[in-house]
């Protein structure tokens, strides 16, 4: 029983997809001038002011000094000095779709390799199983991701303290990572 090069290559590619999301982490902006590239008119955001009050609304105007939101039909203006944090709601469609694709491809490699050994056919069975399992995994992952949302911090005032805890995995084990920002 020999292992063909295609399943090994596909499995190696799938192992690289997971860690790629960690490299693409974004940091939040530290001034209104920096967020003008990300926040556009009509985008829904949540603003937490310096008193801790959170207001949700749609962006109507953004300047280097202030942000104006449409909240319950009324415009409310926030100055940079009075805003502690701005977050936006994001869907996870792409992330979950890629994870589903990777999972489907891995399953397709194993199933295709087993079927390939049974039938004696080269490549065709493996290609078909990669296509079917990869496509199904991507579709299921994208559907789950479209239903899953998270709050992403777009802006955080300088001097705001944050604590973040995240799970860490590696070939040697699992653990927790913590980040404290002052």
pLDDT tens string 42-73: 888 999 988 888 999 999 988 888 889 999 98
Within 8 A by CB and 6+ apart from 117, the residues are 1
Flag whether pLDDT at 29 surpasses 60. Answer: yes
Q: Which fold has domain 32-91+149-181?
A: SH3 type barrels. (2.30.30)
Between these two residues, 27 and 114, which has the higher pLDDT value?
A: 114
CB atoms within 10 A of CB 83: 20
Query: Which candidate, 78, 50, 75, 54, places its Cα nearest to that of 66?
Result: 78
Q: What are the residue ranges of CATH 2.30.30.100 in the chain?
A: 32-91+149-181
Q: What percent of the chain has pLDDT over 90?
A: 22
pLDDT category at 106 given cuts 50, 70, 90 is: very high
Report pLDDT for 5: 53
């Amino acid at each position: 029983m020999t292992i063909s090069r295609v399943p090994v290559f596909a499995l190696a590619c799938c192992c690289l997809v997971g860690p790629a999301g960690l490299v693409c982490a974004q940091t939040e902006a530290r001034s209104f001038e920096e967020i003008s590239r990300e926040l556009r008119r009509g985008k829904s955001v949540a603003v937490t002011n310096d008193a801790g009050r959170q207001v949700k609304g749609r962006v109507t105007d953004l300047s280097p000094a202030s942000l104006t939101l449409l909240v319950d039909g009324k415009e409310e203006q926030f100055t940079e000095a009075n805003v502690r944090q701005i977050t936006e709601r994001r869907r996870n469609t792409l992330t979950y779709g890629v994870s589903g694709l990777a999972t489907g491809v891995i399953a397709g490699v194993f199933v295709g390799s087993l079927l390939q050994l049974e039938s004696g056919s080269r490549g065709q069975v493996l290609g078909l199983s990669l296509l079917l399992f990869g496509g199904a995994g991507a579709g299921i992952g994208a559907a789950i991701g479209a239903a899953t949302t998270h709050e992403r911090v777009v802006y955080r005032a300088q001097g705001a303290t944050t604590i973040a805890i995240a799970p860490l995995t590696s070939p040697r084990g699992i653990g927790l990572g913590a980040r404290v920002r002052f």
